Amino acid sequence: MDFEKSIIQNIIFNKKKYFIKRDDLIHPIFNGNKIRKFYFLINSNYKRVYTYGGNQSNTIPAYAFFAKEKGIEVNFYTKEISKHLKSNPSGNYKIGLENINFIEIPNDRYNEETERIKNKKLDKEDIFINIGGHQKEAEHGIKLLAYEIMNWIKENKKENISVFLPSGTGTTALYLKKNLPIKVYTTPCVGDSIYLKKQFLNLEKNELLHPIILSSQKKYHFGKPYKELLDIYNRLYKETKIEFELLYDCVGWIVLEENSKNIKEEILYIHQGGTIGNESQLKRYKYLKISI
């Protein structure tokens, strides 16, 4: 894993020029914003992580990395895993299998069990990590990302540039904005803009340090396959030769295109990795016979 591999390139997409910060290149598997968000584990004394989420979550490879490299025990609580996935592991789940413990919770007890884990009394060497890494420790690694961006801005004398990145929990966008003296735009991919604003407020009360939220004209339910998302995924690959991520990036690029007339600055787009997860998502598109 090597942050220096995260270069900034320029691309042309739909006749417009963008800069791309390639956090997907940090490592073929262990890359993207989850590595940044959990980077605090590297120099910590934590020995056990308790967390939860979906069995194809993009957090899984990052946990697998810190489990492997630091010998941290990762206990990942999740809903019941289908027999099909267990006998045909794929995507993020497959990467997690070797290094982290998946602990299944009966579906009807998921909410109460995750609450219980959240409130469990922990030893000094244990840490509970919120779903998606939504907590203050995440700032440590995202500060490094902000620092790399600032160095590039200075070296290239960029005076009119803003950052864009799509949000889930909003953690990456918030801590980037907090550590950058330029505009940061984002869009909600999980929930709506009211949810995202609440997420920012959880981590930072000062609204001047919040990113600017742009919304898509159409509502895309998180994780659900849409023809438009597959369409922009293919167009992006065709025009830029970069594989983007289906759940977040594709919504992000749709929103960027919808707003391109209103944004006068140059845009630095943060590629937040997660393309390993495309494997399982593309299978769903195939299964649903969604193609372009």
Can you tell me the distance from the alpha carbon of 246 to that of 250, in angstroms, rounded to the nearest whole number?
Answer: 5
Based on the shown chain and the rule CB under 6 A, indicate whether residue 32 belongs to the binding site for ligand PLP. Answer: yes
Based on the shown chain and the rule CB under 6 A, indicate whether residue 31 belongs to the binding site for ligand PLP. Answer: no
Helix (H) or strand (E) holding 110: helix 110-119
Helix (H) or strand (E) holding 193: helix 193-203
Q: Which of 29-37, 79-87, 108-116, 233-241 is the region at the interface with ligand PLP (rule: CB under 6 A)?
A: 29-37
272 or 280: CB nearest ligand PLP: 272
Q: Contacting ligand PLP (CB under 6 A), which of 91, 166, 211, 225?
A: 166
Q: Provide the β-strand partners of residue 88.
A: none
- Answer yes or no: are the C-beta atoms of 81 and 96 closer than 8 Å: no
Nearest approach in angstroms of CB 24 to ligand PLP is 8
Can you tell me the distance from the alpha carbon of 274 to that of 24, in angstroms, rounded to the nearest whole number?
Answer: 7
Site string for ligand PLP, 232-271 (x = CB under 6 A): -------------x--x-----------------------
Based on the shown chain and the rule CB under 6 A, indicate whether residue 281 belongs to the binding site for ligand PLP. Answer: no
The token pair that represents 205 in the structure block: 């009360």
78 or 272: CB nearest ligand PLP: 272
Applying the rule CB under 6 A, the residues between 50 and 109 that interact with ligand PLP are: 58
Instruction: Tokens 């592991």: give the residue.
Output: 89
> Angle at the Cα of 170 (from 80 to 288), degrees rounded to 5?
45
Can you tell me the distance from the alpha carbon of 172 to that of 271, in angstroms, rounded to the nearest whole number?
Answer: 12
Can you tell me the distance from the alpha carbon of 290 to that of 292, in angstroms, rounded to the nearest whole number?
Answer: 7
Q: Which of 115-123, 161-169, 176-184, 215-223 is the region at the interface with ligand PLP (rule: CB under 6 A)?
A: 161-169
Q: Contacting ligand PLP (CB under 6 A), which of 52, 274, 276, 278?
A: 274
Based on the shown chain and the rule CB under 6 A, indicate whether residue 171 belongs to the binding site for ligand PLP. Answer: yes
Task: Give the β-pairing of 8-13 and 16-22.
Answer: antiparallel
99 or 272: CB nearest ligand PLP: 272
Beta strands in 80-208 (DSSP E): 101-105, 126-129, 161-167, 184-188
Based on the shown chain and the rule CB under 6 A, indicate whether residue 139 belongs to the binding site for ligand PLP. Answer: no
In SS3 terms, 143-165 reads as HHHHHHHHHHHHHCCCCCEEEEE
Q: Contacting ligand PLP (CB under 6 A), which of 273, 278, 281, 285?
A: 273
Nearest approach in angstroms of CB 99 to ligand PLP is 18
Number of residues binding to ligand PLP, judged by CB under 6 A: 18
Where along the sequence are the contacts to ligand PLP (CB under 6 A)?
Answer: 32-34, 58, 132, 166-173, 245, 248, 272-274
